[in-house]
Amino acid sequence: MGYIDVHSHILPGLDDGSRSIEQSVEMLRIAWEEGITKIIATPHNMPGKGCPTIEVLEERLIQLRTVAENAGIDIELYLGTEYYYREEVSEILEREDAVTMAGSEYVLLEFNPLEERSYILNAVRDVYSLGYNPVIAHVERYEQLMKKKEDIAALKNMGALIQVNASSVIGDNGYRCKRDVKKLLKEHLVDFVATDAHSAGHRAPRMEKCAAYLYKRYGQEYAEALLFKNAEKYFF
Ligand SMILES: [Fe+2]
């Protein structure tokens, strides 16, 4: 079975991810070569980076699906959104206007890298109380949170799922980051490894090297959970 990439800025012209449909197709080709067969496109919803409407998101998704099909790339594409958490996000959820992960009850949330632990814990509580399950995007980025591994376990107990970036697993974001991610993986506190791809260049949808590492280091069962089984279980 192929990998499922649950965090990707592959839809063109919406945020700091893909700039054009051509670049999106290039990203799809790379993803396919890397063994990815399903992608949940998660453009930013963040003031200053982009807050596309549902109509625009759906239009871009259909456009990319069509182009992918014509190019013979057999990757299934779904819609999500990476919400930069702020009060307005709770309002969006309350109005039931949120673009969730492939239409599930899960919403991808990101925070300021320097955000306080208590703020993140409260946000998760808040989102959960509105009837949604948060997925914490690239948890390794939140410095305050990473200081206390117990917080990650607490977030999970509160109904959150945890995502880390493939690039962080293999050390592309520095030694400290890799070390932090390793600690979480060792205790099976991570639910998804995703690419968080932004381009076909420096931030391309690379998964294979990370996948090989996960299988070797953590065994088949956990590697498969991280790479596709959990996504299948929670989002589809
Ligand atoms: Fe992202």
Domain regions of the chain by residue span: 3-235
CA 86, distance to chain mean position in Å, is: 18
Distance CA 85, CA 160 (A): 14
| pLDDT < 50: residue spans in the chain | none
Ligand 1: centre distance to CA 165 (Å): 9
pTM for the structure as a whole:
0.97
Ligand 1: centre distance to CA 71 (Å): 26
Instruction: List CB-based neighbours of ion ligand 1 within 5 Å.
Output: 82, 196
Query: Which is it for the CA torsion 53, 110, 232, 127, positive or negative?
Result: negative
Question: Which superfamily is assigned to 3-235 in CATH?
Answer: Metal-dependent hydrolases (3.20.20.140)
Ligand 1: centre distance to CA 135 (Å): 12
Ligand 1: centre distance to CA 83 (Å): 9
Tokens of 167: 């690039």
The closest alpha carbon to 3, from 29, 26, 28, 32, belongs to 32
What values do phi and psi take at 158, rounded to 5?
Answer: -85, 5
Ligand 1: centre distance to CA 7 (Å): 6
Distance CA 108, CA 151 (A): 18
> For a pLDDT cut of 90, what percent of the chain falls above it?
98
- pLDDT on residue 16: 96
Query: Which is it for the CA torsion 131, 135, 141, 146, positive or negative?
Result: positive
- pLDDT on residue 1: 81
Ligand 1: centre distance to CA 109 (Å): 9
Ligand 1: centre distance to CA 12 (Å): 14
